[in-house]
């Protein structure tokens, strides 16, 4: 059995961190910090529990189950085909990859162009051609991701963020202000919901195949060794995410003196101008570009490996080409249209992913054949579809009835149906076991 050195595990952790850490992860913590103000530390606890805890638990769940397909098969063979496909399409070319290309242009290139060039569609077209050309080139050799991510892109990204934080320690900053709105009443819960909205738990299910294949390329073929190293890499990436989120949250809590902002991107822009002057825009642009590049490469790689396995007639290289061209085309359609279609779908499938992760972690008590899987996942999936239809097509006409569910207003109304369905599944397991004992008759 081949074992990896500590340094190799660290590099793989760096690679996984960079695949998780995109532009959205840069934006959420500063906004939380400014809104939570004096309660920033309490809110950060909730944020880290969901933004770090759920993705890392997702990596652990895949490591314990073997593959995403194996985990989904515990619900139903048809579900194991449909659900992973929806996830790969939704967070791949359907939303996350095109969004990364658009955000990289908005934050990394647009600030340096004349206004007439920014509004011109040709500027975005030229930029995305170059951006996805780089993504295509770096995605062609997935076995080299550790060298490119772990040893190059991730250290560069971490260095820039640490530099920004250190500069804030020697530059006069504002004091945290009183928390506002929900951050004042329930800072931990609101922080948890903010982290929940990063939806990195979906990415954890997707990236599992990349980490496993990376380990196999290094000669680790034993299933137990692969699981153990995936868990180590997940914990390492979680530690890095936690440190960076704390830094960005603290920066946001000290930014109120710069004025109220509507989102984290505005906060970061104001902070960088305050800390570094005109060069701050350049540094921020580099940070966003690297983050978007890392996420795009990770998603193109994982999606290409998945679709190659699903449709064996096309090679990995062809799938990389298809995904890069498709993502580039969608990125030029406009981010607003992409979000209007994709976000409701993501909101419907995200609770299902969380339920799968939680059930997999309780594998010692809930066997793969348990009825808890189909009952819980089935009811949560139905709730997600109803909620999506209510918000997308019915203009929230069913809110009166849905608000009776605990935590529905907070975006977690699926929790109670999941608990009820799990109890039903356990009762079915008990009934099946009792029926089996009855058929065997009394023991003589």
Q: What is the DSSP string of 318-339?
A: HHHHHHHHHHHHHHTT-HHHHH
pLDDT at position 1 over 60: no
Q: What is the DSSP string of 204-238?
A: HHHHHHHHHHHHHHTT---HHHHHHHHHHHHHHHH
Note the pLDDT of residue 304.
93
Mean pLDDT value of segment 347-359: 89
pLDDT at position 442 over 80: no
Note the pLDDT of residue 52.
93
Q: What does pLDDT average to over the chain?
A: 87
- Distance from C-alpha of 290 to C-alpha of 156, rounded to nearest angstrom: 8
Contact 29, 47 (CB under 8 A): yes
Instruction: Give the model's confidence band at 419: pLDDT under 50 very low, under 70 low, under 90 confident, else very high.
Output: very high
For residue 16, which of 55, 65, 49 has the smallest C-alpha distance?
A: 55
352 exposed, middle or buried (CB, 10 Å; 0-12, 13-18, 19+)?
A: buried
Digit-coded pLDDT (tens) for 259-302: 888 888 889 989 999 999 989 989 989 888 988 988 899 889 98
Torsion angle, alpha carbons of 377, 380, 382, 384, to 10: -130
More confident residue, 152 or 20: 20
Instruction: Give the model's confidence band at 334: pLDDT under 50 very low, under 70 low, under 90 confident, else very high.
Output: low
Note the pLDDT of residue 78.
93
Instruction: Give the model's confidence band at 350: pLDDT under 50 very low, under 70 low, under 90 confident, else very high.
Output: confident
Ramachandran quadrant class, 276 (left: phi over 0; alpha: psi -120 to 50; beta: rest): alpha
Note the pLDDT of residue 253.
93
Mean pLDDT value of segment 198-211: 82
> Domain residues of the chain, as ranges?
6-335, 363-431
Note the pLDDT of residue 441.
60
CA 443 to chain CA mean position, Å: 53
The fold of 6-335 is Amino acid/polyamine transporter I (1.20.1740)
User: What tokens appear for 56 in the block?
Assistant: 């890392």
pLDDT at position 47 over 70: yes
Digit-coded pLDDT (tens) for 92-147: 888 889 988 888 888 888 888 888 887 787 888 999 999 999 999 999 987 777 67
pTM to 2 decimals?
Answer: 0.85
Digit-coded pLDDT (tens) for 362-389: 877 888 889 999 999 999 999 999 998 8
End-to-end, the C-alpha distance of the chain in Å comes to 48
CA 286 to chain CA mean position, Å: 21
């Amino acid at each position: 059995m081949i074992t990896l050195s500590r340094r190799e595990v660290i590099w793989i952790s760096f690679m996984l961190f960079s695949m998780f850490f995109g532009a959205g992860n840069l934006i959420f913590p500063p906004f939380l910090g400014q809104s939570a103000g004096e309660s920033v530390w309490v809110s950060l606890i909730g944020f880290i529990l969901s933004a770090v805890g759920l993705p890392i638990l997702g990596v652990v769940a895949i490591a314990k189950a073997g593959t995403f397909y194996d985990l989904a098969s515990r619900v139903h063979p048809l579900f194991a085909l449909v659900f992973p496909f929806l996830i790969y399409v939704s967070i791949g070319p359907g939303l996350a990859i095109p969004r990364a290309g658009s955000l990289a242009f908005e934050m990394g290139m647009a600030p340096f162009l004349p206004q007439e060039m920014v509004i011109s569609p040709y500027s975005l077209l030229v930029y995305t051609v170059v951006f996805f050309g780089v993504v295509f080139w770096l995605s062609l050799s997935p076995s080299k991701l550790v060298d490119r991510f772990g040893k190059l892109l991730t250290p560069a990204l971490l260095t820039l963020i640490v530099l920004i934080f250190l500069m804030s320690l020697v530059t006069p900053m504002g004091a945290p202000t009183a928390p506002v709105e929900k951050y004042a009443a329930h800072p931990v819960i609101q922080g948890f919901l903010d982290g929940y909205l990063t939806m990195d738990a979906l990415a954890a299910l997707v990236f599992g195949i990349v980490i496993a294949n990376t380990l196999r390329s290094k000669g680790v073929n034993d299933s137990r060794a692969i699981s153990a190293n995936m868990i180590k890499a997940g914990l390492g990436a979680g530690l890095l995410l936690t440190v960076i989120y704390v830094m960005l949250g603290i920066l946001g809590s000290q930014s109120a003196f710069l004025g109220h902002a509507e989102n984290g991107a505005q906060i970061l822009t104001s902070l960088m101008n305050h800390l570094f002057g005109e060069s701050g825009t350049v540094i921020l642009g580099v940070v966003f570009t690297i983050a978007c590049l890392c996420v795009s490469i990770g998603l193109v790689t994982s999606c290409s490996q998945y679709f190659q396995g699903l449709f064996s007639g096309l090679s990995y290289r062809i799938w990389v080409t298809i995904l890069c061209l498709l993502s580039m085309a969608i990125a030029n359609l406009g981010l607003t249209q992409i979000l209007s279609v994709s976000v409701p779908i993501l909101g419907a499938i995200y609770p299902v992913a969380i339920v799968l992760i939680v059930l997999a972690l309780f594998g010692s008590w809930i066997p793969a054949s348990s009825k808890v899987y189909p009952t819980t996942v089935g009811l949560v999936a139905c709730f997600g579809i109803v909620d999506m239809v209510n918000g997308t097509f019915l203009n929230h006409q069913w809110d009166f009835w849905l608000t009776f569910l605990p935590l529905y207003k907070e975006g977690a109304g699926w929790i109670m149906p999941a608990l009820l369905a799990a109890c039903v599944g356990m009762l079915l397991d008990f009934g099946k076991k009792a029926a089996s004992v009855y058929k065997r008759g009394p023991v003589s």
